[in-house]
Amino acid sequence: EDKVVQSPLSLVVHEGDTVTLNCSYEVTNFRSLLWYKQEKKAPTFLFMLTSSGIEKKSGRLSSILDKKELFSILNITATQTGDSAIYLCAFYSGNTGKLIFGQGTTLQVKP
Amino acid sequence: DAMVIQNPRYQVTQFGKPVTLSCSQTLNHNVMYWYQQKSSQAPKLLFHYYDKDFNNEADTPDNFQSRRPNTSFCFLDIRSPGLGDAAMYLCATSPRTSGRGYEQYFGPGTRLTVT
């Protein structure tokens, strides 16, 4: 059965810290992996990754995919309180044409 | 701005009283999705439409129905809400489902409370 596992489930850091969020997956027909940020509302899109080893970057956030080891990481440098959110990882299944979400990592950034 | 709009943002209904949630999009995307998200859980797909082609998830209860009268609008009907149906309901769209996949754009969600 296709699944996505995120770790840690929750994380508390202080402003200025760097965090790494992990996402591992087991899929039969992987097409792409997506990261979303969810505050007290709907998820907002961060990145879509399809190729191994190519880092995607947006400001203080970056992400990379390892298709051999079946995982992705999301890095946030110089964290700010506005980064506090749930970060969702999802993969797009070529078998079903659907996104399969992980449970999410809840990040709290303290001042 | 092109976007996904959900109404209402908050809905309170009584146990067993039918409720309809609506979603509209100005992105002109082919595919529309309805997800249910309970507290501290990942979004769970209920249905999706590829154009007018309806796709029901195997474990979506019969109590949940959906309609897509045109490209822009999609409705979620809960025929007899139970306490367990209290959740955030998310509508999302994407250009298509084939190939490498495309990011899904989410609306702000409707938080449903059942009393």
Interface test with A, best of B21, B48, B51, B103 (most A CBs within 10 A): B103
pLDDT band at A22 (very low <50, low <70, confident <90, very high): very high
User: Between A6 and B98, whose confidence is greater?
Assistant: A6
Max CA pair span of chain A? 44
Position A28 scores a pLDDT of 79
Token duo for residue A54 = 């190519």
Q: Do B45 and A98 touch (CB under 8 A)?
A: yes
Does B90 reach chain A within 8 Å, measured CB to CB? yes
Mean pLDDT in residue range B17-24 = 96
Position A98 scores a pLDDT of 79
Is residue B99 predicted with pLDDT exceeding 70? no
pLDDT digits (tens, 9 = 90+) for B32-77: 999 999 988 889 999 988 888 888 888 899 999 999 999 999 999 9
Position B1 scores a pLDDT of 62
Position B72 scores a pLDDT of 94
Of A44, A88, A98, the CB nearest to B42: A88
Question: In angstroms, rounded to a whole number, what is the distance separating the alpha carbons of residues B84 and B87?
Answer: 8
Buried/exposed code over B88-112 (b: 16+ C-beta within 10 A; e: otherwise):
bbbbbbbeebeeebbbbbbbbbbbb
pLDDT digits (tens, 9 = 90+) for A40-53: 778 899 999 988 88
Tell me which chain B residues have a C-beta less than 8 angstroms from the C-beta of A10. none
Interface test with A, best of B94, B97, B105 (most A CBs within 10 A): B97
Q: What is the dihedral of CA B82, B93, B102, B45, to 10 degrees?
A: 10
Token duo for residue B50 = 């590829």
Of B45, B101, B108, the CB nearest to A41: B108
How many of the other CB atoms lie within 10 Å of CB of B28? 10
